[in-house]
Structure 1
Amino acid sequence: MTSKIFHLIKITSVTLITSALGLEVWNIYLHLHNAILPEKLNFALWFGTIALIAHGMEGLIAAFNASSRDRNPIIYGIYTFFVGFVGLQELFARSSH
């Protein structure tokens, strides 16, 4: 893939993951105050939860593999959590060059 597509994926991913985090926090806040999320947002909440779990696993994979590729594991894990598979691809492409 071209770097232009990677850049677009990164921007989109960061925006959507941040939105999913915000929706999760809002849902927790509503539950703490005995309220519920509007029914129309339930699908977005479930979709966001799945995306957060997937990105969390990608972040863990990146964190465990970053030190063997001369990267800071915590920083690269967080970076990969937000940008998704593009971060993993960048990490593993470094070792093949």
Structure 2
Amino acid sequence: MNLKLIKKNIYSFVKIISTVLITSAIALESWNIYALINNINVPSSLNPIFWIERFAMMSHFIESIIAAFYAHSRQKMPIKYATYTFFVGTIGLLELFDQQDDY
């Protein structure tokens, strides 16, 4: 099997999983904020999940800032590519920097 085909398949799989997980993290954090505003008790057993979710969201946010900064130099729209990178994570940055070889 071709190495580029394997890389493409892995990237596609990670993009799908990452998008689902980040969307779920946004929903989980929204639920947590809603619970805090309305004085609803959140089970303390969910605290580790909240910390993992917040770490992942912060990591993706930092990656999206990096992508926005470098997107213009790769002829991409910064806001659009930052949003894309926020949802897919490091794969978005890898794709952005792989395009450097094309020029």
Matched, 1:57 2:58: no
Q: Distance in 1 between matches of 2:77 and 2:25?
A: 26
How far is 1:25 from its partner? 0.4
Alignment size in residue pairs:
97
- Partner SS for 1:71: coil
- Partner SS for 1:2: helix
Q: In terms of Rg, which structure is larger?
A: 2
For the 8 Å contact 1:27–1:36, the answer to whether it is kept is no
Q: TM-score, normalised by structure 1?
A: 0.96
> Pick from 78, 89, 96: which aligns with 2:94?
89
What's the C-alpha RMSD, in Å, of the aligned pairs? 1.0
Structure 1 unmatched runs, 5+: none
How far is 1:96 from its partner? 1.6
Percent identity, aligned pairs only? 45
Q: Distance in 2 between matches of 1:36 and 1:18?
A: 23
> Pick from 27, 39, 49: which aligns with 2:44?
39
Matched, 1:78 2:78: no
Q: Which runs of 4+ in 1 moved over 4 A?
A: none
